[in-house]
Structure 1
Amino acid sequence: MNFEAKLAAPTPAVSGAEPALARSFLPITALSLAIAAGFTAMMSFGTVQEAAKAELGLSDAVLGLIQGVSAAVPLVLFSIPIGILVDRGNRMRLFIALALTWTLGTAITAYAPNVAILFVGRMLTGIGTTGALTAALSLSADLCGPTERGRGVLLISLGKALGQAAAFAVVGWTFGYFVQTSAANWLGLAPWRSTHLALTFASLACILPLLFFREPPRHEVEAQVGAPFRVLAGEFWERRGFLLPLFAGQVTVVMADAAAAIWAAPVLGRDFGQQPQDFAGWMGAMMLFTGIAGAVLGGIAADAGQKTGRRGGLLIGAVIAAVLAIPAALFPLAGSTTLFAIALGTLVLCGTVTGLITSVALTVFVPNELRGLCIGAFIAVAGLIGFGIAPSLVTLISSLLGGEQHLATALAGVGFTVSLVSLGAFVVAMRNAPSNATEPVR
């Protein structure tokens, strides 16, 4: 059987007792570690982009395209096909293939001689990481039962949080190491390039444990694995009253978070006089703490919300987090680095909570054969709007305000506005939520 056939090999659907989270801890942890490596690679460029800007002579507008559009366009093209593969094929093999894709993209970033090649490298990193996240969420859902799913997805979210924190702390420290020591010219590369080459080798090491785990059987199938697309489209349409506002709520959260992740470091450099090695430590620690806390709170809130017995109770935590994110989005206008860190940390915390609860909602309220497609569709929309529009929207607004010196004001305005939209969308999704995966929405 060739590689493509192996990826497409279906996973049998089964019924019976729920799988226990305790027995699946090792494979979920291995997936979490790999996801951490992927998100470190995906977000690494933002930490060192000022050095790349200086070397390649880039403008903020070009940086916005590299950071945003390079991720958004391929996500729109590939996320839904990847989601369909997740629903129909061997998810573990697919995950490994996508992990190798983000690793290749990181290596290309290290050696990119111009903007076009750099764009391709960041594009591959985004495709691999976000596609692998879809597979990881589907795998974790079948490695534990619905009543434990918040905690199962929590482990995947912890990996994502660890990767986001490492993108600041580890990448910033590594960049500073290459700048300050004789290793700065490692293999003839500039420090920001050497940093990405080091990430390439680290990523390969994190992928190896996945070779020892098998594909789990699928649970909670309404139609059948590999059902015709018209059947899946019908199932999606029946749930549109829930899925569309849920997507809108989390996509606008992604807009705020993506803009913050891409432009926080430049704001710190321009408005607060900090260099990557100055803010890498505290920002990395803040990202790690809020990521872990957000994953824990989101997982507990999702499972606790289900126990309330209230329709849509699983989303109560997402609504609360959306409320708190509105003032936190004003972090670029903070009067001190301390207030900047507190507000940004709150925004990241709330985004992690809503992201995890949204993921749990898709695994609890959507049948198995539709989950990958829904997650892929969400990633496609989030990629187009969150990564493709939000970063460039910030630069457009700053330009309208008078130039790059207004970056902080533009970033605050975008974050505040989209956070308001997310709150309303989550409220609607909560009201329209079904009772379980096989019940159509009212």
Structure 2
Amino acid sequence: MTTLRLGAGAGFAGDRIDPAADLARRGELDYLVFECLGERTVAAGQARRLADPGAGYDPLLAARMRAVLGHTAAAGTRVVTNSGAANPLAAADVVAGVAAELGLGGLRIAAVTGDDVLAAVSAADPVVWETGQPLSAHPEELVSANAYLGADAVVPALQQDADVVVTGRLADPSLFLAPLVHAFGWAWDDPELLGAGTAVGHLLECAGQLTGGYFADPVTKPVPDLAWLGFPYADVSADGTAVFGKLPGTGGVLDTRTCAEQLLYEVGDPGAYVTPDVVADFGGVRFSQLGPDRVGVQGATGTARPDELKVTLGFRGGWLGEGQISYAGPRSLARAQLAADVVRTRLRDLHGVPEDAVLVELIGAGAAFRGLGEPGDPAEVRLRVAARVPQRELAAVVGWEVEALYTNGPAGGGGARRSETEVLAIRSCSLPRTAVRSEVHLQEVAR
């Protein structure tokens, strides 16, 4: 094998499905990878699993698999995804059910477990990064702890000829690195190749961001046919160099600029990007434009992987109550500010909600800048009031008080919405990798 073709099927949990189906149908892929899990989405999965032990995986998993499995099975394309979220075993059953519906008897599906380290974290009592205090010093109930597994958790599933691999919390670039290690026989103690493969994975992991989605600005950086943005693929060689492209006829743009932006996305130190597999060094990465929507990448390297793995902690954090309402026309900002004062006063003095628990945003009047600039004179403002409180009943009061502004002033409020949501507070710690053990669970769809 001279090159391996990896396609990006999703860049987050709510991503589009049709570009992935297009890649599966005519991309001539070796692997199609769906990256669907962030710290927020794994927490949401844990919340669903707590309410229903059979839930906790990506809600779009079945829809994604229905869209691609027929094509990938016919083409011999293997699928890797972290859509298992908080429940990879249940997710694998969902994939098997879809495969059976499609008549894909003999399809082999692997669930990778081991990222759930709640017991290990509780026993180790590590320091929580955000607070600097031991885990035991935190009064909130710890309900989840998920370690970032690396590519070494996925390779055994590929070695067992799994057609679809479903994981829980796995580092994003590791989803792409695992097929490269498996195909090319890269050694786990070769940080140069692992760093190069991690760069490939990092560039692909956000799918449409690489082809112009997060790059697009209609004035300074126009991107054609954004409504039909194509997702990228990479042809990777055994030496870690790669050529990135997208399917002909799809929207978007793939050039050295989109690649440079994505390379730096969510990277604090390009010279030391820490993953479970390697501490990647992107400082020497070079991009070359090889043709329309074709970019060559080389120069990434790395040093030895860390001895500890990052762990995402989920604490029960009470309830978030929220209400929104819009004001438009002359003096809309002043009316929205008055409405906010009314709600704040009633939450504090009538319902006993602490003032520092209440967040007010004047959307359309500089809310995104968090007070860094003076608001202008907007034509309309949407008021958002939110509060984190201990009980659901109290959370419901927040939206109720906003909705009550309809008839209790100020004038002209409309489009009120309210909600209350249980909160899982997200924090982080680390565990020695020796305390984390992954396992592969293989099943085959009946013929």
Q: Same fold (TM over 0.5)?
A: no
Structure number with higher relative contact order (C-alpha < 8 Å, ≥ 6 residues apart): 1
Kindly name which structure, 1 or 2, has the bigger radius of gyration based on alpha carbons: 2
Of Structure 1 and Structure 2, the greater helix share is in 1
Of Structure 1 and Structure 2, the greater strand share is in 2
TM-score using structure 1 length: 0.24
TM-score using structure 2 length: 0.24
